[in-house]
């Protein structure tokens, strides 16, 4: 989401201030474009994004009349057929859309930062949705004056006044107990939960002793694998970028290229955890990687054999897809 060219155009044409979210013309109190030069404070990761330039206040797009919001949630995936809406199956996205539509009294469609498979959990998940004016007050927030904002509001450009905290309380009250909304906050009109994400992190949990409280939340193995061998194999995985051998077939993705920045096994009090971070993941990729690394840990293959498996680009050469119950999406960065 590079908006630098819009800022350059604003500087080149100071007599034509405009809303950089959708390129529509807006009225500014002055023409020095200080508000356009304001660095965007990213509320997701509490970071400053120097290339993302937006107005200090989030304004309704006069073209669509809607305000875009990000929503952060977590969910237990046991009872759901993944995040994405499916025919004849219950998904997290379908439930969230339904409850948001009820609270906001208009049809709401969310778009997630990715898709989790059936039974996969998410400790941190982001989606975005657009809210029409019928759910957003038409007057500025109390205490916000034109002098404070430095921007002359017009009929077409009014700050969003939907109270996110009220919305969070209301939607959590009607959501199932296995889905929880953590935050809702306004973003620029072209902010995208999926395409603007730069890093995603998954964890896979394994335990070795029977524990009724881990059923559905960790995979039980009888024999402990060699974690040193698995970490050697994981280091080889990080040397590559084409992970066709770990992807489901017929996924309709344009590329199987992913940049992995972390792949590591660690020992915990109750078992072992595999942590993997990348800019993107293919369908079934993490579970297939775990299954392949376990082959090395069980000494069924040498760690170096993982290189040949990846270079073959053949899913049948890789390990099994481990059960979904141990997999968690734990972090999404923007």
Contact indicator for 128, 111 with CB cutoff of 8 Å: yes
Residue 97's SS3 state is helix
* Cα 157 to Cα 33: distance, rounded to the nearest angstrom: 16
Which residues are part of the catalytic machinery? 117
Residue closest to 282 by CA, chosen among 256, 252, 260, 316? 256
Contacts of 184 (CB under 8 A, 6+ apart): 69, 70, 71, 72, 164, 167, 168
Give the sign of the dihedral formed by CA 166, CA 168, CA 171, CA 174: negative
Residue 276 burial (CB < 10 Å; 0-12/13-18/19+)? buried
């Amino acid at each position: 989401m590079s908006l630098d060219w819009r800022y350059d155009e604003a500087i080149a044409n100071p007599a034509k201030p405009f809303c950089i979210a959708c390129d529509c013309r807006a009225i500014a109190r002055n023409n020095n474009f200080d508000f356009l030069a304001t660095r965007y404070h990213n509320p997701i990761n509490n970071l400053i994004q120097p290339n993302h330039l937006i107005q200090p206040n989030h304004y309704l797009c006069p073209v669509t009349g809607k305000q875009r919001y990000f929503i952060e949630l977590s969910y237990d995936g046991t009872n759901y057929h993944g995040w994405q809406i499916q025919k004849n199956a219950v998904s997290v996205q379908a439930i969230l859309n339904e409850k948001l539509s009820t609270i906001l009294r208009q049809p709401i469609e969310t778009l997630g930062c990715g898709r989790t498979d059936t039974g996969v959990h998410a400790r941190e998940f982001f989606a975005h949705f657009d809210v029409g004016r019928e759910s957003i007050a038409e007057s500025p927030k109390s205490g916000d004056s034109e002098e404070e904002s430095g921007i002359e509001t017009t009929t077409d450009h009014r700050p969003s006044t939907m109270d996110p905290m009220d919305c969070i309380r209301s939607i959590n009250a009607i959501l199932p107990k296995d889905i929880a909304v953590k935050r809702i906050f306004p973003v620029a009109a072209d902010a995208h939960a999926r395409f603007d994400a730069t890093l995603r992190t998954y964890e896979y949990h394994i335990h070795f002793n029977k524990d009724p409280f881990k059923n559905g939340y960790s995979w039980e193995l009888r024999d402990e694998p060699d974690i040193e061998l698995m970490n050697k194999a994981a280091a080889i995985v990080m040397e590559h970028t084409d992970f066709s051998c770990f992807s489901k077939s017929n996924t309709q993705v344009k590329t199987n290229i992913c940049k992995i920045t972390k792949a590591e096994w660690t020992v915990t009090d109750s078992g072992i955890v595999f942590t993997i971070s990348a800019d993107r993941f293919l369908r079934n990729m993490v579970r297939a990687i775990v299954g392949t690394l376990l082959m090395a840990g069980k000494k069924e293959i040498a760690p170096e054999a993982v290189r040949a498996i990846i270079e073959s680009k053949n899913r049948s050469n890789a390990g099994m897809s481990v059960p979904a119950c141990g997999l968690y999406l734990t972090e999404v960065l923007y």
